[in-house]
């Protein structure tokens, strides 16, 4: 009688054998092979019974929440084209602003005359944005929203745990931030320039931090975000740009 | 009508984040199971799940639509798990232990050599430790092939694709894994002669 070897027994256990009926028949007749097969079955049952930690029904949501901020890599290939596009938008915005101003200078309206001497106040007594401010705010809107998300993620992270970081994403934000800050400086928009100047060192530090922040590093960053009220400031300007810049700016945002 | 994996993947390629989210929702639990079996650690398994989907997203363009998305994702997960184990030195350590003798046949049988008596091993926690130790003695390919076949019920053909090896080689890898597990764990399942 031809016995089944160990490999054939394992293949039979997993139904991967070529002639399962023959093997089954042999196992019915051969005590030696049946004992071998039974031992394999017991060992594999023991392995099967090893516990598996359960994940909650919202596990996929948790994975996605942590993951979605890191999914910038597909856009990264477009980094330089994005910069070119952003620069083009800025250039168009700059010349559109110049044209708008020169047109306003030729035929000054009562409102622009007031605007040139003192800020216009909205209903709440806050300044209303016009012309160049609005153009610049619109083009930095995306950048501020992305920065806000990253700051919020950091601010809300558990300081006792290692924080996983997308340094590529931070590097993109640093490059954009630098460009927008310089543009704001050129245009004399001190409010945005000041905000972006506060933001840049944090972003630069994140860009060079590697893939993770230790609890100490995270606590330090959180402290700096908190001390400069950075998240709050970014949210204020981001909300303002998101609404097209026509809404009154809260009075305390003048300190930006 | 339910969106297929390939359709969702195609939309994800076009930049639709909701489509990729759908794939995460469908596959994250399975990937966690595989990752946990591979690493033996919940935290590591969570890391592997994250890294798997991150790599998958970055390699979306490399996926061939005629292939099986699940198999492709498993392959990424397995590689992530092996990378993690390698990075932490465990994998090399265990492999070094296994290959320090005269090959697979001769590797040290730490568990078996301790001659545990069944009556000493009634505590399930102790059994679990033995199973975990036996699993860790498998090579990367063996562990992967065994986990995919035994726990996930993946066909041998797909295991071959996942590991990048022929079907027969995949089948033999599973066999080697079972043989090693048997060598390590057989003393624990051997019927007690006193009880008969």
Interface predicted TM-score of the whole assembly (ipTM), two decimals? 0.74
Contact flag A47-B185 (C-beta cutoff 8 Å): yes
Contact present, B32 and B45 (Cβ < 8 Å):
yes
Q: A interface mutation test: which of B57, B116, B168, B196 has the most A CBs within 10 A?
A: B57
Task: Say which of A14, A43, A64 has its CB closest to residue B149.
Answer: A14
Tokens at A8, concatenated = 């054939």
Residue B67 pLDDT level (bands cut at 50, 70, 90): confident
- Reply yes or no on whether the pLDDT at A116 is more than 50: no
Confidence of residue A140 (pLDDT cuts 50, 70, 90): confident
First to last CA, chain B: 59
Query: Is the Cβ of A223 closer than 8 Å to some Cβ of chain B?
Result: no
Using CB atoms within 10 A of its CB, is residue A83 exposed (0-12), middle (13-18) or buried (19+)? Answer: middle
Q: So what's the pLDDT on residue A124? A: 42
pLDDT for B99 beyond 90: no
Tell me the average pLDDT across B117-128. 59
Write out pLDDT tens, residues A192-206: 888 888 888 888 888
B32 touches chain A (CB under 8 A): yes
Higher confidence at residue B36 or residue A69?
B36
Q: Which residues of B touch A164 (CB under 8 A)?
A: 50
Give the CA radius of gyration of chain B.
19
Average pLDDT over residues B106-119: 40
**Dihedral sign of CA atoms A239, A240, A241, A244 in order:** positive
Give the pLDDT score at A133: 58
d(CA A57, CA B54): 21
Residue scoring higher pLDDT (A99 or A74)? A99
Could you tell me the two tokens for B181?
């597990």
The overall average pLDDT reported for chain B is 81
Closest CB to B186 among A43, A60, A74: A43
Residue in the block written with tokens 């092979």: A33
Mutate to test the interface with B, among A6, A14, A160 (most CBs of B within 10 A): A14
Pick the more confident residue, A159 or A10. Answer: A10
Minimal CA separation from B92 to chain A, in Å: 23
- Kindly determine whether residue A46 and residue B131, on different chains, have CB atoms separated by under 8 Å: yes
Structure tokens at B152: 């996930």
Residue A110: which residues within 8 A CB-CB, separation 6 or more? none
Structure tokens at A26: 């042999």
Backbone angles phi, psi at A127, to 5 degrees: -70, 145
Pick from A12, A35, A39, A47 the residue to mutate for testing the B interface (most B CBs within 10 Å): A47
| A51-69: average pLDDT | 87
Interchain CB contact of A74 with B (< 8 Å): yes
Which pLDDT belongs to residue A38? 94
């Amino acid at each position: 009688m031809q016995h089944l070897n160990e490999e054939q027994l394992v293949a039979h256990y997993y139904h991967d054998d070529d002639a399962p009926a023959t093997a089954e028949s042999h196992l019915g007749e051969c005590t030696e092979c049946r004992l071998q097969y039974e031992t394999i079955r017991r060992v594999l049952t023991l392995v099967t019974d090893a516990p598996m930690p359960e994940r909650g029904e919202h596990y996929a949501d948790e994975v996605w929440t942590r993951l979605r901020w890191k999914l910038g890599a597909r856009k990264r290939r477009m980094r330089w084209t994005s910069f070119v596009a952003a620069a083009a938008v800025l250039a168009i915005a700059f010349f559109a602003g110049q044209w708008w101003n020169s047109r306003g200078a030729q035929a000054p309206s009562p409102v622009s005359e007031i605007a040139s001497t003192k800020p216009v106040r909205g209903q709440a007594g806050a300044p209303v944005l016009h012309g160049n401010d609005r153009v610049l705010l619109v083009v930095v809107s995306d950048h501020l929203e992305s920065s806000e998300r990253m700051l919020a993620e950091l601010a809300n992270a558990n300081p006792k745990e290692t924080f996983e970081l997308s340094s590529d994403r931070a590097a993109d934000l640093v490059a954009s931030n630098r460009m927008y800050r310089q543009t704001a400086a050129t245009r004399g928009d001190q409010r945005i320039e000041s905000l972006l100047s506060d933001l840049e060192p944090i972003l630069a530090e994140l860009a060079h931090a590697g893939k993770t922040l230790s609890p100490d590093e995270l606590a330090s960053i959180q402290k700096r975000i908190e001390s400069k009220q950075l998240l709050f400031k970014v949210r204020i300007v981001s909300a303002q740009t998101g609404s097209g810049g026509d809404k009154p700016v809260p009075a305390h945002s003048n300190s930006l | 009508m339910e969106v297929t994996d390939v359709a969702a993947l195609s939309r994800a390629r076009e930049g639709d984040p909701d489509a990729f989210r759908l794939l995460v929702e469908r596959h994250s639990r399975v990937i966690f199971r595989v990752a946990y079996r591979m690493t033996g650690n919940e935290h590591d398994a969570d890391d592997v799940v994250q890294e798997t989907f991150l790599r998958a997203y970055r390699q979306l363009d490399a996926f061939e639509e005629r292939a099986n998305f699940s198999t492709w994702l498993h392959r990424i997960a397995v590689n992530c798990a092996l990378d993690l184990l390698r990075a932490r030195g465990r994998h090399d350590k265990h492999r070094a232990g296994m290959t320090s003798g005269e090959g697979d046949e001769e590797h040290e049988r730490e568990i078996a050599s301790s001659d545990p008596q069944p009556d000493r091993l009634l505590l399930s926690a102790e059994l679990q430790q033995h199973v975990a130790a036996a699993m860790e003695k498998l090579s990367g390919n063996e562990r992967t092939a065994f986990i995919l076949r035994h726990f996930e019920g993946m066909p041998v053909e797909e295991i071959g694709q996942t590991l990048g090896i022929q079907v027969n080689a995949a089948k033999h890898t599973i066999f080697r894994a079972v043989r090693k597990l048997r060598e390590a764990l057989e003393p624990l399942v051997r019927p007690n002669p006193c009880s008969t």
